[in-house]
Structure 1
């Protein structure tokens, strides 16, 4: 199994953190992992993306042109990466702020109202974990217990008290993801 993923959105949406937690979760399952962030100089508010590869085999290069899955959190990222999903692949997006929804017929498309659900939870910082939960429902490439270990590894110890909230957000994402188009 090899899963090549791009996560893209605005800086401040937790894009890089989501990728790091996913990567650590893969490590906790004894898988090979690559995590390669990319962001503009403006950071918060600018565009950011991260490529994550999780595989049972050695990863030859972290540089990808096409992806098995794209997790899209803003319109600029949709415009840039929708066409880079491999035929038969998966695109997961939050419709908040998306004006041109994906229309490809050769990929599986899912949406998760992460921003709305995070507001409902009373904590906008849970947004990225809601989206991660939606992804893991669609593609269960890492087990939830390994995501918890990944959170423990990637969060500073002073923030470990937030792990239960993050797990709750992941579960909320798993329950609320919906299929837009399945091939």
Structure 2
């Protein structure tokens, strides 16, 4: 098993944190892991992305140009990374802020309305965990238990009181993820 993922959006959406938590969970799942962040100098509000590789074998390079999965959180990232998804790969996106939906017909497309759900839950900070839950429903590459343990390791102790909210957000994302229909994306 080898999963090559790009997570991309605006700084402040929890893109890098989502990748870091996924990477930690992979380590706890006894996988080889690469976490390779990239962000503009403006950070919050600028573009940010992170490449995560989870593998049963050694990873030769953290730099990749094609992805098994793209998790996209804004239009600029969709424009930039849609063509870099491997044929047959997965695109997961939050439709909030997407003005031109995906065009590819050789990939499987899912949506998660994480923005609206985070607002409904009364905590916009769980947005990225809703998205992560959706991804884990599509591709259960790590367990929720490992993700929760990764949260404990990556969050400062003063934030541990937020772990139950994050766990609820992950479960909610798993419940709400939606595969687009053939008419929407041309997929199977």
Displacement after TM superposition at 1:104 (Å):
1.1
Figure out how many residues of one structure are paired with residues of the other and give that number: 183
Task: Supply the distance in 2 between the matched residues of 1:37 and 1:51 (Cα, whole angstroms).
Answer: 6
In structure 2, stretches of 5+ residues that fail to align are 182-186
Partner deviation per Cα, 1:92-145 (whole Å, 9 max, x = no partner): 000000001012111110000000000000000000000000000000000111
Matched with 2:22 is 22
Structure 2 length-normalised TM: 0.96
Matched with 1:152 is 152
Matched with 1:180 is 180
Task: Supply the distance in 2 between the matched residues of 1:153 and 1:34 (Cα, whole angstroms).
Answer: 17
Matched with 2:82 is 82
SS in 2 for 1:61: coil
Task: Supply the distance in 2 between the matched residues of 1:145 and 1:124 (Cα, whole angstroms).
Answer: 23
Matched with 1:33 is 33
Matched with 1:12 is 12
Task: Supply the distance in 2 between the matched residues of 1:151 and 1:144 (Cα, whole angstroms).
Answer: 10
RMSD: 0.7
